[in-house]
Amino acid sequence: MPQHKHIIIDAPGEQRNYTRPPGGGSSEFRIPQRDRRAHARGLLSDVNQSRCNAEAQAEETGHTICDLCLEIIGEQDYKLKIESLEALRSGIEVRSVKCIDNQIHATIYIPEGKLVNFVRKIERYENENYARGRQRPKNEDLVAVISGIRFPVLRSFWNDDENLFPSSNTERIWWEVWIRVEPSENTDDAFASFVATTSDSNLRIGQHAIKFPERLVFLAYGSAQEWTQIFVPLLDRIAEFRKAKEIPTEYIRLSAHDQRSFVNNLADRVVLPDANAPAVCLLLKLTDLTPQGVFPGVE
């Protein structure tokens, strides 16, 4: 295979003033026709019902819910303004986003006392117009595209292929668990808190976690039913779930001779591209090539 040079930019950078692209793209964002007041009141009713459901589940399980999670469901075949759902200064953040049958579902986290900030967006859509241009409701691009709002269930946080979700409540699988961590919080403390919360359940929590900014990722073994039993006290932590994928542990544990045999077997089956095919350079850390760089200790 021919060798390719890296891309090297020799010329110095040139400073230019920012100019706004023509068009702005706003005309491409479609909004369904709504009776604004009826639609707003329906969504406000959904929020109130979600809060009641959260309180009922908290009472049923004997736990206290301070913060609140909501599942925002977009109108089918329309885009949902995900960035407008967040209000980071108020601590309102999007946990996960997925698309099911051309309908976007987003779960958002709302800290205690901040639900009024989210509700205000809907109220302004109902009662206020933009001052400039044609008369149109404030926050219309966000609120008009929301089809419904509900208190999330376990599956609301599933951010993988829907066909990979356990086929029954009792089927036990390895879950890839993503939990949120405050920027000022110690990640080890966050992980220990999560493990302590699940200590009375039958879930098996992996002992190693991968750290990302504001997220911890680790494995847990159990069923959907076991997650549901402790779902409420974990709502302030859970960001998303996925199904844990197979890792190459068995190959890594082979002897050098056997590993070489597999490599040679693969090399014999590779069809090389022609000389003019594009070349891609992958940069990997050494830990990315071992099970310890993924999920150590998991069979």
Contacts made by residues 53-62, CB under 8 angstroms, sequence distance 24+: 53/150, 53/151, 54/151, 54/232, 57/151, 57/231, 57/232, 58/232, 61/229, 61/232, 61/233
User: What pLDDT sits at residue 92?
Assistant: 93
User: What pLDDT sits at residue 222?
Assistant: 95
Rounded to the nearest angstrom, the gap between the alpha carbon of residue 27 and the centroid of all alpha carbons in its chain is 28
Q: Tokens in use for 230?
A: 């402790």
Q: How many residues does the chain have?
A: 299
User: What pLDDT sits at residue 292?
Assistant: 40
Nearest-angstrom CA–CA distance, 108 and 177: 17
User: What pLDDT sits at residue 291?
Assistant: 40
Q: What is the bridge-based pairing of β-strands 172-180 and 238-243?
A: antiparallel
Nearest-angstrom CA–CA distance, 46 and 151: 9
Residues 6+ apart with CB under 8 A from 97: 82, 104, 105, 106, 159
User: What pLDDT sits at residue 296?
Assistant: 41
Pick among 3.30.70, 1.10.10, 1.10.530, 3.20.20: CATH of 162-243 = 3.30.70
How many C-beta atoms surround the C-beta of residue 45 within 10 A? 11
Look up tokens 């302590």; give the residue: 196
Q: Residue 153: helix, strand or coil by DSSP?
A: coil
User: What pLDDT sits at residue 132?
Assistant: 73
Closest CA to 87 of 116, 66, 65: 116
Q: Map out the domains of the chain as residue ranges.
A: 31-152, 162-243, 249-293
Query: In tens digits, what is the pLDDT along the chain, a chain of 299 residues?
Result: 456 666 677 777 787 877 766 655 444 678 999 999 999 999 999 999 999 999 888 888 777 777 899 999 999 999 999 999 999 889 999 999 999 999 999 999 999 899 999 999 999 999 999 887 667 899 999 999 999 999 999 999 999 999 999 999 999 999 999 999 988 889 999 999 999 999 989 999 998 899 988 899 999 999 999 998 888 888 889 999 999 987 666 777 888 888 899 899 999 999 988 888 888 887 765 444 444 444 444 43
